[in-house]
């Protein structure tokens, strides 16, 4: 998960100063900014700062704005003057916490320890901080928050939290993870390189294991909270690697202070910084062989519950938003304008399938239509279709599909329909137009396929599926769709190359349709050879290419078991 800190004031669309106004102006307002951030892979917005005595309605307004954009939030707060239970001393966040259910599981709140410029009672500040955190820990689970005590920058004041050792001292005796540390990369590096003598030092492993949140920013001669652009520095890879190695699974939060680099383009600084943080995190994750080895156990452990969750949400009358659920790298469940349908519901892992038949049967009792784009097993799953054949869904497949695979499904003939390029369907709540797919590579390898253009809920959804021939003169002539689902493929066997052969062709092909929004899929299929696994990193590069070609158009990376707005 990736986050970025923003001033609460701009969430209202107003600005307190020219710097905040510049941030809004560069993106055309707060809504385009939030869409842009989500498109770059950001999952959380950190409100920096919400004071204990701030207006509670203001904090809740900001939260609702973030949730409406399909994002979650965290809060950078502060310790109040009075020591007491959270509900008594932090009223500004109580309405926000009450609204958490249905939006996110918990709220991470980062605070600094007590400190003073003139009062030397450092030990008393440490004791008071620990006392406050102990009171807050008692209600953390009930109210739904987690507290992160930040390692602060050493700046010549009386601060018990300006070192990892100081933070660990105040966390002594706490069990569990409701109260932990915030590893501020820039503060730690500043302390080691500016006020210390060991810039190559790494945090203590105990501190890393107690970390529940991060603040990430580079340094230059102006100080901390700088973006990751030329002239700024931070041993980002080393810090991320050590943190991931210690088992960290929280948010990697980019904490920029925009007034410190007013001469830069904020858009460029944000994009470069997010891309650099994402790159470092990917580099620290397990490599392909480990991921393939562990894929079955991972998916088996979470897949059944996730399928049950989606079933419940499809039936929930309170959920009226248009959305798509990802249940595989290309397997999608749509609910748009009241219509529900699935496209290419395939599960490649036998381990997962064997654990999921009953939850999948329940899910497909709520899905009246299934559409298959082509016969490859990551799109057309005969075994899955066999198990759900009695759930009542009508199945639409290309007329060119392998007949033996179709027979394996044992699908009832009255609910099995064959589609050809040029067909137009009018189903309840769904309009569909089909086009000839472009799944054949230049050497002739490939299979016949169909592209689908859905008209549903007043929106057009274009699903060209797997494209291997990006010749623009051979693409369907359609009006710009509201949303395009583009499956990333940059060249056969090229996934480990620095410059995949079809990178520019892919970006040009997507941009040619001028969609209102792009979703990038068909990623991280760990059962493939590593030379043919297109990852989030590849998709991140495609995002950059699309940003250049389609300024202002959101391009978002699809991840399994995430829900995305339509």
* Pairing label, strands 459-463, 483-487: parallel
**DSSP track, 475-517:** S---PPPSEEEEE----TT-TTSSS-TTHHHHHHHHHHT--SE
CA-wise closest residue to 1 among 73, 66, 50 = 73
Inter-residue contact 48 to 76 (CB < 8 Å): yes
Q: Are residues 397 and 296 in the same domain?
A: yes
Q: Are residues 178 and 268 in the same domain?
A: yes
Q: Are residues 212 and 294 in the same domain?
A: no
Q: Are residues 378 and 257 in the same domain?
A: no
Q: Give the angle 308-314-320 at the CA atoms, nearest 5°.
A: 145
Q: Are residues 226 and 310 in the same domain?
A: no
Residue linked to tokens 């931070």: 234
Q: Are residues 531 and 390 in the same domain?
A: yes
Residue 279 has a pLDDT of 86
Give a yes or no: residue 35 inside a domain: yes
DSSP state, residue 116: B
Task: Round to whole Å and give the CA distance between 192 and 201.
Answer: 7
Give a yes or no: residue 84 inside a domain: yes
The CATH number that applies at residue 325 is 3.60.15.10
List alpha helices for 77-225, DSSP H.
86-89, 94-98, 122-143, 164-171, 185-193, 205-209
Residue 305 has a pLDDT of 82
Structural domain of 159: 2-194+205-238+251-272
CA 213 to chain centre: 16
Inter-residue contact 226 to 218 (CB < 8 Å): yes
Q: Are residues 267 and 409 in the same domain?
A: no
Element of type H or E holding 182: strand 179-184
Inter-residue contact 115 to 159 (CB < 8 Å): yes
Task: Round to whole Å and give the CA distance between 111 and 98.
Answer: 20
CA 518 to chain centre: 15
Give a yes or no: residue 486 inside a domain: yes
Exposed, middle or buried, 188 (CB in 10 Å: 0-12/13-18/19+)? buried
Give a yes or no: residue 140 inside a domain: yes
Q: Are residues 345 and 465 in the same domain?
A: yes
What's the whole-model pTM score?
0.59
Q: Are residues 72 and 183 in the same domain?
A: yes
Grouping H, G, I as helix, E, B as strand and the rest as coil, residue 74 is strand
Give a yes or no: residue 282 inside a domain: no
Grouping H, G, I as helix, E, B as strand and the rest as coil, residue 53 is coil
Give a yes or no: residue 284 inside a domain: no
Q: Are residues 422 and 558 in the same domain?
A: yes
Is the Cα torsion angle 352, 485, 46, 150 positive or negative in sign?
positive
Inter-residue contact 558 to 519 (CB < 8 Å): yes
CA-wise closest residue to 224 among 172, 180, 177, 189 = 189
User: Edge-to-edge strand order for the sheet containing 179-184?
Assistant: 211-215, 179-184, 145-150, 107-111, 72-76, 44-48, 2-6, 252-254
Task: Round to whole Å and give the CA distance between 197 and 191.
Answer: 9
Burial 345-374 (b: 16+ CB within 10 A, else e): bbbbbeebbebbeebbbbbbbbbbbbbbbb
Residue 443 has a pLDDT of 83
Residue 230 has a pLDDT of 86
What radius of gyration, in Å, describes the C-alpha atoms of the chain? 25
Inter-residue contact 310 to 332 (CB < 8 Å): no
Element of type H or E holding 145: strand 145-150
Give a yes or no: residue 281 inside a domain: no
The CATH number that applies at residue 157 is 3.20.20.150
Kindly give the confidence (pLDDT) of every residue in the chain, 566 residues in length, as a single tens digit, with 9 standing for 90 and above: 899 999 999 998 777 789 999 999 999 999 999 988 887 878 899 999 999 999 999 999 999 999 998 889 999 999 999 999 999 999 999 999 999 988 888 999 999 999 888 888 889 999 999 999 999 999 999 999 999 999 999 888 888 999 999 999 999 989 878 999 999 999 999 998 876 667 778 898 899 999 999 999 999 988 899 999 988 889 999 999 999 888 888 899 999 999 999 999 999 999 999 989 988 887 776 544 444 444 444 455 567 888 999 999 999 998 999 999 999 889 999 999 999 999 999 987 665 666 688 899 999 999 999 999 999 989 999 999 999 999 999 999 999 999 999 999 999 999 999 999 999 999 999 999 999 999 998 888 899 999 999 999 999 999 999 999 999 998 999 999 999 999 999 998 888 776 788 999 999 999 999 999 999 999 888 777 778 889 887 888 899 899 889 988 999 999 888 899 99
Residue 351 has a pLDDT of 59
Other residues' Cβ atoms within 10 Å of the Cβ of residue 327 = 21
Token pair, residue 93, equals 């966040």
Give a yes or no: residue 277 inside a domain: no
Q: Are residues 214 and 327 in the same domain?
A: no
In sequence order, the 6+-apart residues with CB closer than 8 A to the CB of 445 are none
Q: Are residues 219 and 293 in the same domain?
A: no
**DSSP track, 361-395:** HHHHTT--EEE---SSTTT--HHHHHHTTTS--EE
Q: How many domains does the chain have?
A: 2
């Amino acid at each position: 998960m990736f986050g970025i800190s923003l001033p609460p004031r701009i969430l209202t669309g107003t600005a307190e100063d020219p710097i905040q106004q510049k941030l809004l102006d560069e993106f055309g307002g707060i809504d385009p900014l939030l869409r842009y951030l989500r498109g770059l892979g950001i999952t959380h917005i950190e409100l920096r700062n919400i004071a204990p005595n701030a207006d509670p309605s203001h904090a809740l307004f900001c939260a609702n704005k973030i949730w409406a954009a399909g994002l979650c939030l965290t809060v950078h707060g502060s310790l109040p003057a009075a020591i007491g239970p959270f509900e008594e001393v932090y009223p500004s966040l109580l309405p926000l916490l009450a609204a958490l259910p249905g939006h996110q599981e918990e709220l991470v709140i980062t605070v600094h320890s007590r400190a003073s410029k003139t009062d030397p009672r450092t030990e008393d500040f440490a004791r008071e901080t620990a006392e406050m955190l102990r009171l807050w820990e008692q209600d953390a689970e009930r109210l739904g928050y987690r507290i992160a005590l930040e390692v602060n920058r050493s700046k010549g004041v009386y601060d018990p939290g300006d070192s990892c050792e100081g933070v660990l001292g105040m966390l002594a005796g706490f069990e569990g993870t409701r109260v932990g540390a915030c590893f501020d990369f820039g503060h730690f590096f500043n302390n080691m390189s500016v006020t210390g003598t060991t810039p190559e030092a790494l945090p203590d492993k105990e501190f890393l294991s107690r970390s529940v949140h991060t603040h990430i920013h580079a340094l230059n001669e102006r100080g901390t909270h700088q973006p990751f652009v030329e002239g700024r520095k931070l041993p980002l890879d080393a810090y991320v690697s050590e943190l991931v190695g210690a088992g960290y699974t929280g948010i990697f939060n980019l904490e920029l202070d925009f007034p410190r680099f007013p001469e830069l383009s904020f858009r460029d600084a944000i994009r470069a910084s997010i891309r650099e943080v994402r790159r470092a995190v990917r580099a620290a994750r397990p490599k392909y062989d480990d991921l393939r080895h562990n894929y079955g156990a991972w998916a088996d452990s979470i897949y059944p519950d996730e399928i049950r969750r989606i079933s419940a949400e499809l039936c929930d009358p309170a959920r009226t938003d248009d959305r798509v659920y990802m249940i595989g790298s290309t397997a999608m469940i749509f609910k748009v304008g009241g219509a529900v349908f699935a496209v290419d519901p395939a599960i490649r892992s036998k381990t997962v399938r064997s654990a999921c038949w009953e939850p999948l049967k329940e899910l497909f009792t709520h899905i009246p239509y299934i559409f298959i784009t082509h016969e490859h097993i990551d799109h057309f799953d005969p075994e899955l279709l066999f198990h759900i054949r009695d759930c009542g869904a009508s199945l639409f497949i290309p007329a060119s599909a392998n007949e033996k695979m179709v027979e394996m499904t044992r699908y009832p003939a009255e609910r099995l329909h064959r589609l050809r390029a040029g067909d137009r369907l009018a189903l309840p709540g769904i309009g569909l137009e089909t086009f000839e797919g472009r799944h054949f590579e230049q050497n002739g390898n490939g299979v016949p396929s169909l592209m689908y253009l859905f008209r549903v809920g007043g929106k057009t959804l274009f699903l060209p599926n797997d494209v291997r021939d990006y010749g623009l003169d051979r693409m369907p002539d359609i009006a710009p769709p509201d949303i395009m689902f583009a499956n990333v493929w940059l060249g056969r066997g090229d996934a480990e190359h620095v410059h995949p052969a079809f990178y520019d062709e892919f970006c040009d092909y997507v941009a040619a349709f001028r969609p209102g929004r792009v979703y990038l899929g068909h990623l991280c299929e760990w059962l493939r050879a590593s030379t043919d696994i297109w990852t989030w990193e590849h998709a991140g590069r495609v995002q950059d290419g699309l940003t250049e070609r389609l300024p202002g158009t959101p391009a978002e990376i699809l991840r399994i078991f995430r829900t995305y707005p339509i």
